[in-house]
Amino acid sequence: MHLLAAFRELPISLLITSLALATTALPVHGTDLTPDNFKTLTADGFWFIEYFSPYCSHCREFEPTWKKLVEETEHTTPSVKLAQVDCAVHGGTSSPVSTIALVAAYLSPIDLCAEKGVKAYPTMRMYRNGQDLEKYTGHRTLPDLHAFIKRHVDAVAPPPPKKSEIPPVNINGEVLQLTDSTFAANLAKGPMFVKFFAPWCGHCKKLAPVWRQLATHMKGKLNVAEVDCEEHGALCKANDVTGYPTLVYITKGGLKSDYNGGRKLEQLKAFADKASSAGFQPIKTEELDTLVKDNEVLYLLVHSAADTDILQTVQRAATPLLGSPSLFTSSDPALLTRFSVPQTSTWALVALKDHDARTPASILPERTATSEDKIRTWLLSHRLPTTIELTQDTFQGVMNAPQAPLVVIAAVGPSIMDRAQERVAEIGKKWRLRTQGSGMVAGREVVFATMDAEKWKDWMKSMYGIVNADAETELAGVKVVITDHKRLVYYDRDTVDSRIKLSSTPSLFAAVEAAASGKLAYKNSENAVERLARYLNNKMVSLEKYVVTYPWRAAFILFMVFVAVFLGLKRLIADDVPADYRKVDRLD
């Protein structure tokens, strides 16, 4: 105590300078807590605090791990603040007598570490709203520390946002008859599955009893409705109806998704059930592998347990998916590490395809400019598996997908369908390896598909000139085309002008890459007359949309055209009159 008394005799400026110089070399990662700010700062929220001494060898060994923990926790569990208390400066029963300790004892009579019951270093404790919850006694490794932090956060994580009360829908299990005056009012009550039809349409008449059965099945769950386009043409036009019947799922917010699947009752029921119950399904990390085995494609949102805003944002963005692919969510930070998500992201969307739980097809990490529209675009761009069989049920969803994928079609006869599907699946895996899991090239998604050449022979002949494909019994002879269905063009020759084959993976991949980059000669699925008709039709549709969108501007342009024609005709007639023509008196 004589030494301490001697220190008290020294000028305070000298003591402060000594303390400053001595502590500049002490590493502090996270918030530096002192007796003055401890109570104030820790009074709100979670605080995970390390009590340490710079003279403790275990503390020095643990320092890199703590530093890494501070960096990662800022992104994985930002609701938890990490802080340190230097017990060499702020007391502690085990502190060695040192210049720092003596100076600290002079400046601060409060022994913070002893007050908190610290008897060894490093000691870590979890606090919430100023209350000491638990001392950490596990291994000083990052996974164990993260698990400890997450356990406390999850225990008091905010409950998921309550679903708003949904007004009763489809109370009687009957088809709603919509008109111009009732359409918006019914949509305000909730989503609708709408059939736009014409009374004279044969397919519409055939669908009518199935539609009534669907309405009965969806009683209390989803409004099933219909619009007679003969009586309400303007309403059908406003919903871009160009053929009958047109089936559209419309959300309460007005987002529309055309239904292009089969029209049998079971197919419609499966779609309506999935669409009406679309949403996130929380999962445990150990469940992920099983889910990937059961789903061709799934989306996983990994996020902080405290961040419910991103759940709502992604939920809105995923509306056009209508429950396919399925969306799952987890707040386990270990998944961010598993999928190598940048540490700057507090959340990430992961697309897993083709039963591969290790190599994501794509990852959308958090960015400052990640808008709802960008999330929606990403979700729509990765919804297809790498390999699939094109059937009546899957055709529209693949060939007319919004992202306009390139589809490699193998026309296969029934006798070798199993072998061909195995070969196409193998090609799909190699393609994903070639594209680092994304399955994309030159910004285009690529899907490898088999198609029954017997059932679809007439269509294949008219679209791609494929004949007698159903008679082929060897894989080497299977006819293959690369299709760009949006443009109605296809490729049946590779980069060296040879027939594309399933048996030659390198030449197939080279042809796909050349087609995607516009370096491969294509053929048209339409003849010249059909292409001209489609071109003119597109121009007329564009003109019609312009007139509807800008009626006054269109009227002005039309008026100016009439004026120009009138003046042109007037000048033409004037030019036909001789310059020396003049009237003369007539005798009669």
Active site residue ranges: 201, 204
CA atoms of 490 and 461, how far apart (whole Å): 13
Going by C-beta distance under 8 Å and a sequence separation of 6 or more, which residues neighbour residue 208? 197
Torsion angles phi and psi, residue 69, rounded to 5? -60, -40
- For 441-460, give one letter per residue: b (16+ CB within 10 A) or e: beebbbbbbbbbbeebbeeb
Query: What is the residue-wise DSSP string for 55-97?
Result: T-HHHHHHHHHHHHHHHHHHHH-TTEEEEEEETTTS--TTPPP
Tokens of 216: 């009965």
Neighbours of 153 (CB within 10 A): 21
Q: Cis omega (within 30 of 0) on the bond before 35? A: no
Q: Output the CA–CA distances (angstroms, integers) from residue 396 to 127, 298, 485, 515, in the order listed.
A: 56, 20, 10, 22
Q: Token pair of 371, please?
A: 């808008």
Contacts of 500 (CB under 8 A, 6+ apart): 480, 481, 482, 491, 492, 493, 494, 507, 508, 511
- Phi, psi dihedral angles at 47 (to 5 degrees): -135, 125
Would you call the peptide bond into 160 cis, given omega within 30 degrees of 0 as the criterion? no
Are the CB atoms for 161 and 306 separated by under 8 Å? no
Amino acid at site 466:
I
How far, in Å, CA of 570 to CA of 255, rounded? Answer: 52
Using DSSP's 3-state secondary structure scheme, residue 202 falls into helix
CA gap 415, 429 in Å, rounded: 24
Taking the C-alpha atoms of residue 89 and residue 161, their distance in angstroms, rounded to an integer, is 45
